[in-house]
């Protein structure tokens, strides 16, 4: 009896306290992927509360969102994950009438394969996967994934701890597509990754850029924006997209079906596309913006930085991830076996 009374009192207090709070918008984004001050601006402008959480891989985000219990209003997945979530009926269509600032998005980034009719996502950032290296420590030319298997850099390599990216690198090194669903090719990729393990200093994601700035390693696999960010802090660093292939990716903002406040979510997406806000985000994170107005206002150094805005011919061999459906299990298995080895 007593216990029930206590629980009821606690529940009532909880409900009253919640009732007093402003409406909340739940945002789930990648780590280091926003200028966090824009969240304060949004809170002030709309007189709401933003609950902001971070993930480090698409897979991470997917499991959290689909396992129930979460109530995110806005997510920032990548192309193939957007496609997967559309296929699995996890996303709301976005009412673009509530997102007038979508007009600033470069048409080049609209109608991509993962969302051909621009119904479910509004582009946020784009970029490549490549190698961030320290020019003082690496004498060889960095133009191929092969350098990540070079004995000379034993224990000086930071590999990316993200299954599709890591397996994709091994596949491209072997001359296959990073969307391969051929079991022999995947097995070969697994062997390459196991072979590489002895040379790798650590498997990391967000920590890579700080470690490279601190010169803890010579080479690191990073996404382009992290490279821009790191080079800003340590001019000895440089970024290269392998000529034999890389991953070209597009992250978008989407509204999952778990959203409880779709209009506020659309207001948020619109707000993120205000030219000043889009500019603040791209300046802060170093990632490449698909926002025409923000790009036009960027400082010439960042706007002309080949790491952020590469020449089309340099990324001619880059592939976009596609959702591979059931074959994903094989990728899971390979990555588990590599990590367990």
Partner 1 sequence: MSHKWAASPYLVWMALFIVVPIILVGYWSLTVKTDAGTQFTTENFRQFFNPVHLKVLFRSLELALIATAVCFVLGYPLAYILARNNLRHKNTLIMLLVVPMWMNFLLRTYAWLTILEKNGVLNTILRWLSLPEINILYTKTAVVLGMVYNFLPFMVLPIYSVLSKIDPSIVEAAEDLGADWVTVFRKIIFPLSLPGVFSGIAMVFMPSVTTFVISKLLGGGHYSLIGNLIEDQFRLVDDWGFGSAISLVMMALILVSMALMSKFAGEDRGLGLW
The binding site for partner 1 (CB under 8 A) comprises 1-3, 6-7, 57, 59-60, 62-64, 66-67, 155, 161, 163, 197, 200-204, 214-216, 332, 336-337, 339-341
Question: In the bound complex, what is the minimum distance in angstroms from residue 237's beta carbon to partner 1?
Answer: 15
In the complex with partner 1, the residue whose CB is nearer, 22 or 197, is: 197
Q: Which is nearer to partner 1, 55 or 120 (CB)?
A: 55
For the CA atoms of 267, 273, 276, 282, the dihedral, rounded to the nearest 10 degrees, stands at 130
Helix (H) or strand (E) holding 167, with range, is: helix 163-173
Q: How far is the CB of 253 from partner 1 (least distance, A)?
A: 23
Query: β-pairing, 121-134 with 248-254?
Result: antiparallel
Question: Which residue reads 């995110």 in tokens?
Answer: 72
Residue 248, CB half-sphere, CA atoms under 13 Å: how many? 19
Of 27 and 201, which has the nearer Cβ to partner 1? 201
Question: How many residues in the chain?
Answer: 341
Which SS3 state, helix, strand or coil, does residue 202 take?
strand
Eight-class DSSP state of 60: H
Least gap, CB of 267 to partner 1 (angstroms): 31
* Minimum CB distance to partner 1 smaller for 161 or for 266: 161
The CB-of-341 to partner 1 minimum distance in angstroms stands at 8
d(CA 124, CA 173): 29
Task: Answer for the pair 222, 230: CB distance below 8 angstroms, yes or no.
Answer: yes
* Cα gap 291→224, rounded to integer Å: 17
Give the residue with the Cβ less far from partner 1, 20 or 326.
326
- Residue 200 Cβ vs partner 1, minimum distance, rounded to whole Å: 7
Between 30 and 126, CB nearer to partner 1 = 30
E strand map for the chain: 24-30, 49-55, 74-75, 121-134, 157-160, 200-204, 219-223, 237-240, 248-254
Q: How far is the CB of 179 from partner 1 (least distance, A)?
A: 19
Shortest Å distance, C-beta 214 to partner 1: 6
Provide DSSP, 90-109.
-BPPP-GGG-GGGGGB-GGG
Q: Of 78 and 289, which CB lies nearer to partner 1 in the complex structure?
A: 78
Contact 169, 334 (CB under 8 A): no
């Amino acid at each position: 009896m007593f216990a029930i009374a206590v629980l009821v009192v606690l529940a009532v207090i909880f409900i009253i306290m919640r009732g007093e709070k402003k409406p909340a918008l739940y945002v789930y984004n990648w780590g280091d992927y926003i200028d966090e001050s824009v969240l304060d601006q949004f809170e002030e402008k709309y007189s709401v509360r933003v609950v902001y959480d971070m993930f480090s891989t698409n897979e991470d985000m997917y499991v959290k969102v689909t396992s129930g219990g979460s109530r995110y209003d806005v997510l920032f997945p990548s192309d193939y994950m957007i496609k997967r979530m559309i296929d699995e009926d996890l996303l709301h269509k976005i009412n673009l009438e509530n997102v007038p600032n979508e007009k600033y998005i470069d048409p080049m980034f609209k109608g991509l394969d993962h969302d051909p009719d621009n119904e479910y996502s509004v582009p946020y950032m784009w970029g490549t996967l490549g190698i961030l290296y320290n020019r003082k420590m690496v004498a060889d030319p960095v133009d191929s994934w092969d350098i990540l298997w070079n004995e000379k850099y034993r224990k000086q390599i930071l590999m990316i701890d993200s299954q599709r990216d890591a397996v994709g690198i091994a596949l491209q090194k072997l001359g296959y597509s990073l969307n391969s669903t051929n079991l022999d090719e995947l097995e070969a990729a697994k062997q390459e990754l196991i072979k590489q393990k002895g040379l790798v200093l650590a498997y990391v994601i967000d920590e890579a850029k700080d470690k490279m700035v601190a010169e803890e390693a010579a080479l690191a696999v990073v996404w382009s924006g992290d490279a821009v960010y790191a080079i800003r802090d340590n001019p000895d660093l440089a970024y290269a997209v392998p000529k034999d292939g890389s991953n070209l990716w597009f992250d978008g903002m989407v509204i999952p079906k778990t959203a409880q406040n779709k209009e506020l979510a659309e207001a948020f997406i619109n707000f993120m596309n205000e030219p000043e806000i889009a500019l603040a985000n791209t300046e802060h994170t170093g990632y490449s913006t698909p926002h025409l107005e923000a790009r036009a206002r960027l400082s010439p150094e960042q706007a002309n930085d080949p790491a952020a805005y590469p020449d089309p011919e340099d990324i001619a061999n880059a592939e976009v991830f596609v959702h591979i459906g059931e074959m994903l299990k094989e990728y899971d298995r390979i990555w588990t076996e590599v990590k367990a080895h």
